[in-house]
Every structure is written in C-alpha cells, then in structure tokens.
Chains A and B, each alone.
Chain A
C-alpha cells in the first residue's frame, strides 16, 4: 500500500503562491499521483492528477521530478476560499482499495 507523507499544516497570506510537497518513496511504476481538496463539511474534490513532469489546469499545477518519489502541488495566488485540507494520494488506476487518503495538509490562508 503506497502511502504518502505531507506536512500536517501550512499557513499562507492571501495572494501568495503556495507549494505543498508530498513524499511517496514507495511509488510503483504504474502509480499516478492525485491531489484532492476538502472544505469543512463537504466531501473531497478532485483537483489534479499526474504521472511525471508537470501538469497544469485551471486550479493548480503539479510538479513531479524524474524519480517520482515526491510531488509538489502549487496553488497560484491563494485566496481565503482556498483554506481547506489537501490530500495527496498515489495509486494505479485500477486498485480501488490501494488508495490511501491519510490526514492531508490543512492550509490556512490568512488575510
């Protein structure tokens, strides 16, 4: 079961770029890296997924180095509404019981 390690919490001021790093030393060849966002009293929401190098969408960017043992979620110019818990997961696309959410990183955006 490929598990991940993330910081428990982070604080950032509004308008700054936030980078959350996730360690996944045991990532397997077929594993993808996926990030979710969860607001209080809501279910998690898929943000971004990647396999290698860089992926960007309208919400975030995901940077994955060549060895794939870590990844960094980058949120540009955060606002108060980005305050949430962010989860990093690794797993292949078929192993439903191999995904491990963990406790995530609690990001607090400060005015």
Chain B
C-alpha cells in the first residue's frame, strides 16, 4: 500500500455544481497526479504537481483546476461539473526523478447528472 487515499470514493452531483476531490499521501513524494479513466480511452492525465504550489496541465485539463498547498494534499476541482466529466478519477504519486513509476490511489467514481 503506497499510502494514498482519495475522498470521497463515490459522489453523485448535478450539472453546474462545483466538485472538489481530494488526494492525500503519507509518503512525502514530490510528484502527484490526477487522471481520469473512461471506457475506450484508458487513463488520461488531467493535471500534475511537482511540488507545493507547482502544477502543470496534462492532456485533458479543460474544465479542471488543481491546488497543492501542502506536500501531502492535491485537490482537483471541477469548476462547473458537466455530464462529460462523469468518470473514475485516480490520483497517483511518484518520487522525484522516477515519474514512470507511479503509485495509484483507489479511485473516486464521480457521476454528474
């Protein structure tokens, strides 16, 4: 177990509402990532962070924002949720210098009605 937790694990919300997902790690790793996984698309990177207050966009960042004010927490916010953001969201972490070896959290299943 890589010491990663995600909350909530399941959420149902309505279109247009803001949603925040939390990823928490106990490993003190520098890199943290948010992915979404959809049938037919595999895992796609949304945003990642390479340190406190240091973040960058991934492949599918539109409609999402992130924040990292502490090493252990990485927040993903859907500013105004849409049905196309219904997905399973995974957080991952990796040590500095080995971004290929990532440890994933259990996932959050989000449904936007």
Contacts and interface: CB of A to CB of B under 8 A. Distances in A.
Interface of A: 32, 34, 41-46, 49, 87, 89, 91-97, 99, 101-104
A93 B104 contact: no
User: Which of A43, A87, A103 gathers the greatest number of chain B CB atoms within 10 Å?
Assistant: A43
Interface in B91-107: 92, 94, 97-107
A92 B101 CA distance: 11
A103 B48 contact: no
Interface stretch (B12-20, B38-46, B70-78, B79-87): B38-46
B104 A91 contact: no
Given A34-B101, A87-B42, A97 B48 contact: yes
Contacts, number: 62
| Cβ-closest 6 pairs across A and B | A43-B104, A101-B43, A103-B42, A34-B100, A101-B42, A96-B48
Query: What bracket does the count of chain B residues touching chain A fall in?
Result: 20 to 34
B33 A96 contact: yes
- SS of A interface (majority): loop
Contacts of A43: 90, 92, 104-107
A62 B8 CA distance: 36
B44 to A, nearest CB: 7
B29 interface: no
B50 A96 contact: yes
Nearest to B105: A43
Contacts of A44: 43, 90, 102, 104
Contacts of A95: 99
